[in-house]
A and B are shown apart, each in its own frame.
Chain A
Amino acid sequence: MRIDSRERFDAAVSEALAGREGHETEILVCCGTGCLANGSQKVAEAFAEEVEKRGLKAGVGLFTKKTGCHGFCEKGPLVVLQPSGVLYTKVEPRHVPDILDKTVAKGELIPRLLYKDPSTKKPVERYAEVPFYKNQTRIAMRNIGKIDPADLGDALAHGAYAGLAKALFEMTPEQVIAEVERSGLRGRGGAGFVTARKWKAARKAKGERKFLLCNGDEGDPGAFKDRSIMEGDPHSVLEGMVIGAYAVGAHEGYIYVRDEYPLAVVHLSLAMEQARQAGILGRDILGTGFDFDIRISRGGGAFVCGESSALMRSLEGKTGEPRQKYVHATERGLFDCPTVLNNVETWADVGAIIQNGGAWFAAMGTDKSKGTKAFSLVGKVKNTGLIELPMGTTLRHIIYDIGGGILGDRPFKAVQTGGPSGGCLPESHLDDPVDYEKLTEAGSMMGSGGMIVMDDRTCMVDVARYFLRFLVEESCGKCVPCREGLKQMLVIYDDLVAGRGRPGDIERIERLSAGMQLGSLCELGKSAPNPVLSTLRYFRDEYLAHIEQKACPAGICRDLTAYEILESCEGCGVCLKACPAEAITGEKKALHVIHQGRCISCGACYEVCPTDAIRFFPKAELAPAAAASRGGAS
C-alpha cells in the first residue's frame, strides 16, 4: 500500500504494531557481518527448523528474526530473547533445542551461554544489565539489533520514519533546518562541521539540480560503525536523507558505499525498494508532492575516496583523487551543483532529532559537541565492540566501565582516537571528556570515532610508524608534501626502530610535519603528521631512548631488544615450546637459557612465562660478541 497522507502513515504504523502483538516471545538472532562470520546464519536456520518441528509457530506465538549487529561481535553469535531480555553469547546450532525447551518454554536460564562479566566473573542474565550495554545511549543506532533490517513493517513498528512524517506534514524546510540547528548536530564523519550550516548554504545556493550524498566509505582500518548502521538499520539513513533533501530542496541523492560492504548494499537496496513501494522514497513522497530518490554507488576502494572532493570525483566517474577547492561543495559540488555530503551516522541521527526535537538532542553532550557518538572500541580492552555514548563521556569511563579495563589487567599506556590520522593520548588525558574540541586540543581528533586502547607493551615510536605505513600506501600521491613527505617520514621511523636514529631526527620530524600540515592539498596529508606529533608530545622520552640509548623501553622494537631468563626460572619449559627460533634450551625443572645468537627477539617466551622469569633489556647492553654473532646469524 502506498502511503499518501498522514492518516495512511499512522494507519501503516498501527498495522505494523498490530502484526506483532501475537508474538509472545521474539528470538533475535544477530546476523550482522561479525556474527555471520561466526556462523549465525546456521543458528537462525536451526531456530526456524526447530520451531517448525515442534509446531510451535502459531501456537505459542514464537517469532524468530534476523537483526543487524549488536556491537558485541567478539561474543557472537548473539541471541536475544524478548521481552525477557535474556542475552546468550557464542550460540551454536546445537544449543538451539535447549534454548527452546528450557528458556523459551520454562523460563530456565542456560548458564554456560550467559555472558560473564570479566571483572566480577559472574554471569549476567539480561542484555540491559551487561556493562557493555548498560552504559550506552543509542540514537543513531537506536533500532540496530532490534529490527529485522529487511522488513519495513518491523522498522515502522519501531518508530522509523516518524521524524520524516513530522517534517513533511508539519514543518517547512526552514523549520527543519532550524530544528537541526537547535540540536547542535555536527558531522560524524571527520571534521565535525555544523550540519545545519551546510544545509542552510545548500538551500540558499542557486541551482536547478541539487545533490544530497551519504558517505559510507568508512576506510579507517578497524572501523565498522557505518557498516553496522547501513546493514542493521538502513531505514535510519534513508529517513535522514529524505528529511535533508526536503530541507535543502534536493531531488537526487547517492549513497557511496565502501566496496567491501556487500551486505550493506543488499540491505540498503532492499530498504530503498520497500520504501519506494510504500511511498516513502521516490515520487510524491507521502503524498506531499515532494520527489527525492537515491542511488547506490560502490566506492572506489581507497581510503582517500572518502574525502569529500575525491568522493564527488569518483561519483562523476573520474579517478577518486582529491581536488583543491576554494568553493564549498554546498555551492559547487557534484557535477558543479550545490551538494550536501554527510556521514552515515550523521544521517542516522537526523530522523530522531526531528521526531524528538533539537532541544532533546542538545540536552546531551558538552558545550559545543551535542548528542551521542558511535565509537568502535578495540585493542587491549576486555570488551571490544561498537558503542554509542553521549558526547563528553570520559575516556576512562569508556575504557574501564564499558571496555571493562585493560586485558590481563596490565597498565594502560595510551588510547589512539580518530582513525589513522588521529593521535595517541596518555594516561593524563583519561579524564578528558570526549568531544571535538577537547580531542583536537589534546593533539588527536574525533575522526569517525575509532578508539584503539594500548597497554604498557606498546612502543609509541612503533605505533606512529604503523600509522605512517598505512598512510604512505593510502596517500593518493598527487601532491608533493604528502606523497614525498610520508615516504621520507617513514624512512626516518624505519631508522628509529632499527637503532639507526640520529641526533636531530626529532627536529627533522617536526619540521617535515609542519611542512605537510601547511603544504598538503587535502586533509589526508594535512592530518597525516598527527600520530607522529601526538606521540612526540606525550612520549618524547621514548623517542630519545631510541635515538640516544638505542633502546626500546617497551621492549617491542626487535632490533633494540634482547631477552634473558632469570634465576627464578622453575624450568617448566613453556618458553621453550613457545620459541619459534629454537633459541631456548634447558632440562625440566632446571634453569633455562636463551641463546642470544639464535634469538629473534619476538617476545613469545616473555608473554608465556608463568612465573615472570624472563626479562627484556636493551640489546645494546649485550656483550658485543653476542650482538655480532646475532648479526651474523640473521
Chain B
Amino acid sequence: MITLTVNGKTVRAREGSPLLEAVRAAGVEIPTLCQHEALEPWGGCRLCLVDVTRPEWNGWAKMVVSCMYPAEEGLIVETHTERVVETRRVVLDLLLARCPETPLIQRLAREHGIEKTSYLPNPEPTDCILCGLCTRVCDHIGVFAISSVNRGAGREIAPPFHEAPPDCIGCLACAEVCPTSCIPYETSDARRTIWGKAFEMVRCPKCGKAHITKAQADFYAGRNGVPRSYFETCDACKRQEMARTFSKLSAGAVGGMETGKQGNRETGRP
C-alpha cells in the first residue's frame, strides 16, 4: 500500500491501482461516464480528469484521467482545480449538444452549471454518448458481437454491416451496462430481441422461469465445458439448491442460516 493525498486528505491505495479508487476512498465525487469496475478503463469520456503533481515538480501539474492513472506514493491529487472544472464543463457542454434530450447528461450538465448547451444542439438527438461500455462488456464476455464503426463525427455503435449480429447471444449485458439505457430490447418468457435479432428462451427446469436465451446456454456450456443443464437452471433455484445441500451438510452446526443475498450488484452509475 502507498499513501497519497486527494484534495489535501491523506489516503492509502494499492500501488498502481487507478487513482479514481483513491479519489472515491477520500470521499470525493467526480463524474465518470465510461468507467465500470468490471471492465478495463478506457479514458474516452474525459470527465474523471484531475490534476496531479509532486513536490519536486516545482508547481508544475499535469492533467490526467483518474480512471487510468496509476496511484503512486506521494502523489498530490487535486480534483477541482479551476482548469479541471472548466475542462469538465466544456466536455459536458459538448455532450449536452450531442444528447440534448438525455436525462443523465442533462442532470450532469446542470450539476456543473450548464442549463443549455453553448453549441449547436444535435438536430437528430441521440442518447448514445459513445462511452464504449457496451462493446467493451461484449468483448469482455468473449462474444465480440458489436463494435464502434466509422471515425470521427460519424462514429457509432453497431453490429457488423448494421445487420442482426450473428455472434450475439442475447445476454443483454450491453443494454444493462449502458449508462443512458439507449440500447432497446424486449424480453418475455417466450422471446427476447436485441440488435434486431430474436432469441428463443430456455426455461428453468425447476421453477419454469425464462431467464436465459438458448444461445447463451449454448455459448457458456461450450466455453466452460460445464453441462448445459447447469446454466439452464436459474440463479435463484441454483442458490436454493446450494443452500439446501449446504444446510444438509452442516445440519445442526449452523442452524437457520440465511440463504443467498440477492442483487448486491454495484452498477457503477453515479
Contacts and interface: CB of A to CB of B under 8 A. Distances in A.
A630 to B, nearest CB: 26
B94 A486 contact: no
Given A473-B151, A479-B43, A484 B64 contact: no
Contacts of B132: 478
Interface in B133-151: 148, 150-151
User: 7 nearest interchain CB pairs?
Assistant: A515-B90, A477-B155, A324-B43, A484-B94, A488-B119, A475-B152, A519-B87
Interface residues of B, number: 35
A511 interface: yes
Contacts of B44: 478-480, 521
Interface in A291-317: 302, 304
8 contacts: A304-B151, A475-B153, A477-B150, A478-B155, A480-B46, A519-B63, A519-B91, A521-B44
A487 B64 CA distance: 23
Given A484-B95, A511-B90, A515-B90, A479 B151 contact: no
Main secondary structure of the interface of A (DSSP, over half): helix
B165 to A, nearest CB: 17
Interface of A: 302, 304, 323-324, 326, 472-481, 483-488, 491, 508, 511-512, 514-516, 518-521
Given A326-B70, A511-B90, A519-B49, A476 B97 contact: no
Given A483-B155, A487-B153, A488-B119, A324 B87 contact: no
A510 to B, nearest CB: 11
Given A481-B94, A488-B94, A475 B151 contact: yes
Contact of B91 (A481, A487, A491): A481
B10 interface: no
A480 B150 CA distance: 15
Nearest to B155: A477
A176 B249 CA distance: 71
Contacts of B97: 484, 488
B160 to A, nearest CB: 14
Interface string B47-71: 0010000000000000111001110
B46 A521 contact: yes
Contacts of B68: 324, 326
A491 B119 CA distance: 9
B154 interface: yes
B152 A486 contact: yes
Given A326-B69, A488-B119, A480 B153 contact: no
A515 B153 contact: no
A504 to B, nearest CB: 9
Contacts of B120: 488, 491
A471 to B, nearest CB: 8
A486 to B, nearest CB: 7
Contacts of B24: none
A519 B151 contact: no
Contact of A479 (B46, B63, B90): B46
Nearest to A512: B90
A491 B121 CA distance: 11
Contacts of B129: 480
Contacts of A302: 151
Given A475-B152, A481-B90, A324 B130 contact: no
Nearest to B95: A480
Contacts of B90: 481, 485, 511-512, 514-516, 519
B86 interface: yes
Contacts of B155: 476-478, 483
Contacts of B64: 326
B107 interface: no
Given A475-B152, A519-B87, 9 more contacts: A323-B43, A324-B65, A326-B70, A474-B152, A487-B153, A515-B86, A515-B91, A518-B83, A521-B65
Nearest to B84: A518
A304 to B, nearest CB: 8
B45 interface: yes
- Residue in A324, A514, A516 whose Cβ sees the most chain B Cβ within 10 Å: A324
A485 B91 CA distance: 8
A518 B63 contact: yes
B118 interface: yes
B42 to A, nearest CB: 8
Contact of A520 (B46, B69, B95, B153): B46
Contact of B94 (A474, A485, A518): A485
Contact of B86 (A478, A480, A491, A514): A514
Contacts of B94: 480-481, 484-485, 488, 515
A599 B113 CA distance: 47
A501 to B, nearest CB: 14
Nearest to B70: A326
Contacts of A324: 42-43, 65, 68
Nearest to B153: A487
A477 B91 contact: no
Contacts of B70: 326
Nearest to B89: A515
B244 to A, nearest CB: 47
A476 B151 contact: yes
Contacts of A519: 46, 49, 63, 87, 90-91
Contacts of A326: 64, 68-70
B45 A477 contact: no
A467 to B, nearest CB: 14
A488 B95 CA distance: 11
Contact of A483 (B43, B69, B87, B153): B153
B106 to A, nearest CB: 16
A285 B233 CA distance: 63
A477 B46 contact: no
B191 to A, nearest CB: 33
Contacts of B192: none
B87 A515 contact: yes
A514 B151 CA distance: 23
Contacts of A491: 119-120
Interface string B11-51: 00000000000000000000000000000001111100100
Contacts of A483: 130, 152-153, 155
Interface string B194-205: 000000000000
B153 A518 contact: no
Contacts of A478: 44, 132, 155
A521 B130 CA distance: 15
Nearest to A476: B151
A487 B151 CA distance: 12
Contacts of A488: 94, 97, 119-120
B35 to A, nearest CB: 12
A484 B83 contact: no
A515 B63 CA distance: 12
A307 to B, nearest CB: 13
A472 B152 contact: yes
A474 B46 CA distance: 19
Given A514-B86, A514-B90, A515-B87, A472 B43 contact: no
